[in-house]
Amino acid sequence: MATQNKLWAGGGAGGLDPEVEGFLSSLAVDSRLLVEDITGSIAHARMLGKTGILDPESAQALVSALDGLLAEAKADRLVVDPASEDVHSYVENELTARLGDAGRAVHAGRSRNDQVALDLRLWLRSANESIRGALLVSLGAVLDLASRHTGTLMPGYTHLQRAQPITFAHHLLAWAAALERDYGRFADADERADECPLGSGALAGSSLPLDRDMVARELGFARPSRNSMDTVGDRDAATEFAFACSMLATHLSRWGEEICLWAGAEYGFVGLSTSISTGSSIMPQKRNPDPAELVRGKAGRVYGDLLNLLTMQKGLPLAYDRDLQEDKEAVFDAYDTAFGSLRAFAALVRGLEPRVDRMREAAGGGFAWATDAAELLVTKGVPFRTAYGLGKALVEACRAKGLEDVALLSVEDLAAVHPLFGEIGAAALAERFSPATCVAARDLPGGPAPGRTRAEIARLRAFVAAELGVAGKP
């Protein structure tokens, strides 16, 4: 076990007040960065040897010891001493315990400030990759379900009121569109985080002949960071990642709400398999959409993490301030919550049991053909605003007779609304206004016509396959 010395020199003989020392410790949180800290130290040690800052034998001794620590950490055999101030102190002190004075050389040319910034960016890259992989899995689950329901009619809603007929696939592809944007947000955030902070020192770099480009290449970054002062005080990468998590959580929350509505008796559009629903402790007949509800509820937690990060930074002067120690707990929680919600959502989608007959029945109600009535008149040369009023008049004519089916109106009733309706006739209008015909007529990019949804499913499958780097779907 290493002797736990601070990475900074103390001032007085008495040392820190134990309460203050405990308050300053970040080990409980940043021990999660153990692998990243060792990985960064390996690249740094190699650079120290190549540049001649350390002799080759000392640099190789550091690299070998760090390689050993990394293997132990990845195998969960490296137990971090709880007396350490933080993970960075632990790694350096462990090296010193194993190598003696040679271990003390690893910190040449770096500060804990740029070390912290590096570890966090390394972690963010890994977290970003994981969450994008989970996004592709969820997108694949949505596409699998949509592909089976390109012809399944259902009502589309605005203001939670039945509006126009669509297909179940079209609604699911609205989920897919947002998931694709979420994927793009994480990709964008990852690109802007692709700078290596190491070599920035405390704020002004180092007078040692560091090779920042070498370290950046070793760690897989596109380049060294542009400004040493900005780098150590910058938490944009963490904040942007938390924002992407927040947008994802917003989408998942909305869809969780829709699943809850659809599963209720008042809608009855889906059943819930036993793999995604729970029972009641007192009512034996109940199946509750608990995962959907919890996905909905966890969004607020991710929002809190984002607000934490924004508020922490809003009044900080450059360069580094200890406030920034609070970044990791927020960004770790944002990731854990969003990632867990995303995996639960994929399971939810796989466990839905669509009730096709109930959806189809609902799609034909509520005069959902009214817009089509107006657009039919537009094709005959009637100005839209006039046609809109006539479509409404046709609805009122049905309501006056207690009908929803235009096929039951007489020729006189139709002609009283507009002669064109009378000429077309009730049977032809009923066919033109059927949910299936209304959906098929919306054969535009982004529309619900089955051919359009099948094409969009194919496009998104190709996107998923390309991002996964394999042929086929997840």
pLDDT digits (tens, 9 = 90+) for 46-82: 999 999 999 999 999 999 999 999 999 999 999 998 8
Instruction: Confirm whether 84 is a catalytic residue.
Output: no
> pLDDT tens digits, residue range 205-225?
999 999 999 999 999 999 999
Determine the pLDDT at residue 108: 96
DSSP for residue 471? S
> Does 3 have pLDDT greater than 90?
no
> pLDDT tens digits, residue range 74-126?
999 999 988 888 999 999 999 999 999 889 999 999 999 999 999 999 999 99
> pLDDT tens digits, residue range 436-467?
999 999 999 999 999 999 999 999 999 999 99
DSSP 170-234: HHHHHHHHHHHHHHHHHHHHHHHT-EE-TT-TTTT--SS---HHHHHHHTT-SEE-S-HHHHHH-
Question: In the structure, what pLDDT confidence band is assigned to residue 5 with cuts at 50, 70 and 90?
Answer: low
Report d(CA 153, CA 167) in Å as an integer. 4
Least confident of 148-162, 166-180, 275-289: 275-289
Determine the pLDDT at residue 84: 86
Is residue 253 within 8 Å of 295, Cβ to Cβ?
Answer: yes
CATH code: domain 370-433 is 1.10.40.30
Residues near 287 by Cβ (< 8 Å), separated by ≥ 6? 263, 272, 274, 277, 278, 279
What is the end-to-end Cα distance of the chain in Å, rounded? Answer: 45
Report d(CA 283, CA 156) in Å as an integer. 32
Give the helix ranges, DSSP H, for 268-325: 290-313
Report domain extents, the chain: 18-108, 113-205+212-356, 370-433
Determine the pLDDT at residue 430: 92
Determine the pLDDT at residue 83: 86
Average pLDDT (385-404) is 93
Q: Which of 159, 225, 251, 273 is catalytic?
A: 159
CATH code: domain 18-108 is 1.10.275.10
> Does 474 have pLDDT greater than 60?
no
> Does 9 have pLDDT greater than 70?
no
> pLDDT tens digits, residue range 358-383?
999 999 888 999 999 999 999 999 99
> Does 471 have pLDDT greater than 50?
no
| 158 three-class SS | strand
Determine the pLDDT at residue 470: 53
| Distances, alpha carbon 254 to alpha carbons 173, 261, 349, 356, in Å | 14, 11, 14, 22
> pLDDT tens digits, residue range 325-371?
999 999 999 999 999 999 999 999 999 999 999 999 999 888 999 99
Determine the pLDDT at residue 422: 92
- Residue 68, number of CB atoms within 10 A of its CB: 13
Backbone angles phi, psi at 408, to 5 degrees: -90, -5
Average pLDDT (236-251) is 98
Q: Which of 126, 130, 275, 280 is catalytic?
A: 280
201 conformational bin, left if phi > 0, alpha if psi -120 to 50, beta if neither: left
User: What percent of the chain shows pLDDT beyond 90?
Assistant: 84
Determine the pLDDT at residue 1: 41
Question: In the structure, what pLDDT confidence band is assigned to residue 13 with cuts at 50, 70 and 90?
Answer: low
Question: In the structure, what pLDDT confidence band is assigned to residue 312 with cuts at 50, 70 and 90?
Answer: very high
Structure tokens at 197: 């902070």
Average pLDDT (164-181) is 98
Instruction: Confirm whether 159 is a catalytic residue.
Output: yes
Determine the pLDDT at residue 14: 64
| 6 three-class SS | coil
Question: In the structure, what pLDDT confidence band is assigned to residue 290 with cuts at 50, 70 and 90?
Answer: very high
β-strand partners of 196 = 224
Least confident of 184-193, 376-385, 464-473: 464-473
Query: Tokens 């029972």 sit at which residue?
Result: 279
CATH code: domain 113-205+212-356 is 1.20.200.10
Residues near 276 by Cβ (< 8 Å), separated by ≥ 6? 289, 291, 292, 347, 348, 350, 351, 352
The size of the chain, in residues, is 474
